[in-house]
Amino acid sequence: AVYSALFLVLNFVTVAVFYLLLGAPFIAMAQITVYAGAIMVLFLFVIMLLGAEALPATQVLPWQKYLAGGLAAVLAVEATFIFLTRARPVGEITPPDASINTITNIRELGDMLFTKYLLPFEVTSILLLVAMVGAIVLIRKEKRVH
C-alpha cells in the first residue's frame, strides 16, 4: 500500500508537468505542493494508522491473468483505433473571448486570493489545521500512568 501511495505521488508530478506544458506554472506548483505533498502525507498517515502495510499478500486467482490480458488487448485496440482515426493536424486555436476573466499573473492571483476571496481562504486554512490536529490526535499513543 505504501508503494501504491508513492507511485500516486509520481502520477501527481506527471499531472503537474502537464500543467507546466499548458503554461500554468502556478497550478503546477500548487499541484505538487498540495497533492504530492500534503494529501499524500495524509494518505500515508492513514495507511500507517490502519496497518495496511503489514497485510498478508492476497491470493492470485487463475482467471485474473486472462482477464487482465483481455482488458489490455481491448485497451490497445481502442488506443490504436483512436490514434488512426483522430490523428489529424490541430487546426487554428481560437483565443478565448475577452469577456472571460483569465488570470495569468501569479501576483494578480495572490492579490485576488487575499482580497476578494480572503474569507474562503481563511476557512480553508482553518479546516486544514483542524485536519492536521485530528490526525495527530488519532496517531498519538496515550501515556498510561501505573
- Asked if the structure places residue 134 within a domain, the reply is yes
Domain containing 116: what range?
104-146
CB 9 within 8 A of CB 36: yes
Is 12 inside a domain boundary? yes
The DSSP code sequence of 66-113 is HHHHHHHHHHHHHHHHHHHHH-----PPPPPPTTS-----HHHHHHHH
Examine residue 120 and state whether it is found in any structural domain, yes or no.
Answer: yes
Boundary-marking domain end, from 17, 36, 55: 55
Count of domains in the chain?
2
Tens of pLDDT, residues 37-59: 888 888 887 777 777 666 677 77
User: Is 17 inside a domain boundary?
Assistant: yes
Establish if 14 belongs to a structural domain. Answer: yes
- What's the CA gap between 146 and 141, in Å, rounded? 15
Inside any domain, residue 25:
yes
Domain boundary pick from 55, 73, 94: 55
What backbone torsions phi and psi does residue 129 show, to the nearest 5 degrees? -65, -45
In a domain, 46, yes or no: yes
Higher-confidence residue of 104 and 134: namely: 134
User: 89-124 burial string, b = 16+ CB within 10 Å, else e?
Assistant: eeeeeeeeeeeeeeeeeeeeeeeeeeeeeeeeeeee
Considering the domain boundaries, does residue 34 fall inside one? yes
Which of 22, 37, 55 lies at the terminal end of a domain, its last residue? 55
117-138 pLDDT, tens digit per residue, is 899 889 988 998 888 888 777 7
Q: What is the pTM of this model?
A: 0.49
